[in-house]
């Protein structure tokens, strides 16, 4: 699959996303603490952690939906807090639960999204046609979104995030609701996107997908970064080659299969 919206040359390779001591507190609760990340152009970067670890909070800070308590984040060299509009122009974002306007058709929603990013109408319409075809939505493009399945809504949300040709694409659980064929299609699209020198930053609970797709990974637990690197570097960190990402994840986050067994035995007694 050859996905390409921008016919120009690839972007310059280098650091495109960075955080320094990024922290978010809610009263006495620290959701994210002193997070330092650096992600380069062209990376497909996986952001992993247990439920409640701080993944969604981090992504919302990086896309400008939450203001950090302290620390900083830069996207494409732009401070997301100091210059949010400039930074957001470089960003595409797909949340874990797509919020769409049910009384719009897919085409109308994409037209609206393109207008928000000031995409020139003729270019916008060409891109919409290409994206609808890419996601197999052309035949349903004039139907109300209220009649779309969760997987179809996820596709529309991704199409909207790609429409303005962002430099960095943030995805929170992007494969939720997708059938295996659509999940494979999304994988191909994201890999093609990164081949242009652009960046994907995504969280997922499906470690098998992250293991196959990502150039590097970060694991967060209880709001703090516990590991970052390629799969091989993570294996070296835990001191055992050949381990799966699932085994590494469980070890680094303090999870143990025997903990589950003990609970189940306790229920039987």
Tokens of 221: 């637990």
C-alpha dihedral (85, 89, 91, 97), degrees to nearest 10 = 70
What gap in Å lies between CA 217 and CA 207, rounded to an integer?
A: 11
What domains are there in the chain, each with its CATH number? 15-230 (3.40.50.300)
Give the DSSP letter of residue 44.
E
What gap in Å lies between CA 214 and CA 21, rounded to an integer?
A: 24
pLDDT band for position 10 (cuts 50, 70, 90):
very low
Long-range pairs of 7-10 with CB within 8 A, sequence gap ≥ 24: 10/195, 10/196, 10/197
> Residue 260: its pLDDT value, please?
55
> pLDDT by residue (tens digit) across 166-202?
999 999 988 777 788 888 888 899 999 999 999 999 9
> Residue 185: its pLDDT value, please?
87
CA distances from 189 to 104, 154, 173, 213, 246 (A): 25, 14, 15, 11, 24
> Residue 11: its pLDDT value, please?
39
Inform me whether the pLDDT recorded for 225 exceeds 60: yes
């Amino acid at each position: 699959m050859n996905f390409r919206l921008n016919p120009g040359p690839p972007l310059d390779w280098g650091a495109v996303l960075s955080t320094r001591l990024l922290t978010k507190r809610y009263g006495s609760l620290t959701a994210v603490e002193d997070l330092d990340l650096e992600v380069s152009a062209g990376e497909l970067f996986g952001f992993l952690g247990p439920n409640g670890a701080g993944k969604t909070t981090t992504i919302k800070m990086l896309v400008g939906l939450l203001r950090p308590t302290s620390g900083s984040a830069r996207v494409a060299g732009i401070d997301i807090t100091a210059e949010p509009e400039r930074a957001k122009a470089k960003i595409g974002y797909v949340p874990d639960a797509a919020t769409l306007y049910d009384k719009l058709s897919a085409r109308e929603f994409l037209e609206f999204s393109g207008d928000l990013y000031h995409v020139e109408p003729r270019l916008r319409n060409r891109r919409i046609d290409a994206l609808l075809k890419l996601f197999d939505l052309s035949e349903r493009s004039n139907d109300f979104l209220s009649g779309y399945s969760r997987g179809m809504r996820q596709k529309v949300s991704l199409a909207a995030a790609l429409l303005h040709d962002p430099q960095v694409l943030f995805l929170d659980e992007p494969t939720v609701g997708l059938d295996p064929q659509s999940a494979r299609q999304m994988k191909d699209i994201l890999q093609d996107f990164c081949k242009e020198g652009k960046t994907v930053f995504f969280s997922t609970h499906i470690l098998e997908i992250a293991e196959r797709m990502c150039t590097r990974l970060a694991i967060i637990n209880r709001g703090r970064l516990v590991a970052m690197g390629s799969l091989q570097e993570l294996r070296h960190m835990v001191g055992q080659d050949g381990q799966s990402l699932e085994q590494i994840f469980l070890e680094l986050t303090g999870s143990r299969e025997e903990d589950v067994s003990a609970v189940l035995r306790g229920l039987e007694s």
